Amino acid sequence: MLSIRLFDEVSGYPLRCRHIAETNKMEIRQLKAFLAIAEAKTFTAGARRVNVTQAAISMQIRQLEEEVGLPLFTRTPRRVILTEAGEHLLERARRILREHDAAVAEIAEVAGAEFGRLRIGSASGTFAMNQLPEIMHRLKEKFPKSELTVASGTSEKLVDKLMHGELDTAFVSLPVENLNISTESLFSDEIVAIAHPKHPLSKERYISAAALAGEHLILGERGGNTRRMIDEFFAAANVRPNITMELSRQEAINKMVANGLGVGMAGAKSVAKDIRAGKLISWFIEGAEIKWELGLARLRGGHFSPIGKEFVRLCKESFAEREKELKAKR
């Protein structure tokens, strides 16, 4: 536990100890303001995060600094930097706010769970477009007064948001190495190479690492497990891929490829419909065992509300139905 000792300027004796996280006057809104600024690096951006004016958030931080007796930020022209006291408070503030949110969620559960909040993250654009809307619609039917939000990003960024208490659950590429995050697998797919139907090698079933590396490759952005595995595959094959585009969404990659702008890589199941429609062709990649796996992630050991549990159930149901449909079309 962090103790800040204040000393008399004349005698040098300690005046008193303040335990930052246990002060009676410290308020949740002040901690939220502090955390927002610490993560956004400016008062202006922090104020936007918590939906208050810059004057209001400055007042909250001033009150918090008066309460702890030390400055929490060093102000510079471009950004703010946490002081040593601010660094100590940061992780504790995150824990306090997580406990606060958990307490509110538990009270809502006792009250019948008619109200609730679920903050969802999605690293899968295809899933967000195809399945998530229906799942959210069914969730709203059961929890009509709930608040549902969706944020997108790479798996790495979404895990970071889970750790910081900014999300309740997220669809991420597995595996997740963080021991503080628990995951449940929902769907897996083999990565294949995709190209325009008029590609010179369109009649082939397989493509070598060297041949694939020589194409104008359109890949996903770095930061996710799939891109990491693709990079590792090319490195192991001792070839340097000719990457011409890096896009954040798989559907954007597929469209670029369908328009003859290059060769991409995608999950075989996810592009099966476009292949049947004649928009794309696919190759198995010689020597590659790249498997994309989608899962639901959340903070390990945290309280999971009734709306969160129902969301997980609906997701599992939705993916089981999708798997059946894909098998029936093979």
Mean pLDDT of 294-317: 89
Q: How crowded is the C-beta side of 79, counted as CA atoms within 13 Å?
A: 7
- Cβ atoms of 262 and 244 closer than 8 Å: yes
What was the pLDDT predicted at 11?
37
Based on the domain organization, do 169 and 302 belong to the same domain?
yes
- Cβ atoms of 33 and 52 closer than 8 Å: yes
Query: pLDDT per residue over 8-43, tens digit each?
Result: 343 343 433 344 334 446 789 999 999 999 999 999
Query: Residue 319 belongs to a domain with what CATH number?
Result: 3.40.190.10
Three-class SS state of 245? strand
d(CA 146, CA 194): 41
What was the pLDDT predicted at 16?
39
Q: Which residue has the higher pLDDT, 290 or 105?
A: 290
Boundaries of domain holding 323:
117-186+294-329
Based on the domain organization, do 149 and 53 belong to the same domain?
no
Looking at the 3D structure of the chain, how many domains does it have?
Answer: 3
The percentage of residues in the chain with a pLDDT greater than 70, rounded to a whole number, is 86
Based on the domain organization, do 282 and 314 belong to the same domain?
no
Based on the domain organization, do 179 and 160 belong to the same domain?
yes
Closest CA to 283 of 298, 256, 264: 264
Mean pLDDT of 219-239: 90
For 208, the token pair is 């070598």
Helices (H), ranges, 269-305: 272-276
End-to-end CA distance of the chain: 59
pLDDT band at 222 (very low <50, low <70, confident <90, very high): confident
Helix (H) or strand (E) holding 153: none
Residue 110, domain member (yes or no): no
pLDDT band at 247 (very low <50, low <70, confident <90, very high): very high
Query: pLDDT per residue over 116-158, tens digit each?
Result: 789 999 986 666 567 899 999 999 998 888 889 999 888 888 9
What was the pLDDT predicted at 131?
86
With a cut of 50, say whether residue 5 has pLDDT above it.
Answer: no
d(CA 77, CA 92): 27
Give 11's contacts (C-beta < 8 A, 6+ positions apart): none
Residue 112, domain member (yes or no): no
Instruction: Give burial (CB, 10 Å; 0-12/13-18/19+) of 233.
Output: buried
Q: Which residue has the higher pLDDT, 107 or 114?
A: 107
What was the pLDDT predicted at 149?
92
Query: Residue 210 belongs to a domain with what CATH number?
Result: 3.40.190.290
Three-class SS state of 202? coil
For 96, the token pair is 């306090």
- Residue 327's CB is within 10 A of a number of other CB atoms, namely 9
pLDDT band at 165 (very low <50, low <70, confident <90, very high): confident
With a cut of 90, say whether residue 261 has pLDDT above it.
Answer: yes
Closest CA to 262 of 227, 215, 197: 215
Mean pLDDT of the chain: 85
The percentage of residues in the chain with a pLDDT greater than 90, rounded to a whole number, is 55
Q: Which residue has the higher pLDDT, 108 or 59?
A: 59
Q: Which residue has the higher pLDDT, 154 or 58?
A: 58
- Cβ atoms of 316 and 186 closer than 8 Å: yes
d(CA 171, CA 124): 7
Based on the domain organization, do 90 and 139 belong to the same domain?
no
- Residue 60's CB is within 10 A of a number of other CB atoms, namely 23
- Cβ atoms of 13 and 7 closer than 8 Å: yes
Q: What is the pTM of this model?
A: 0.62
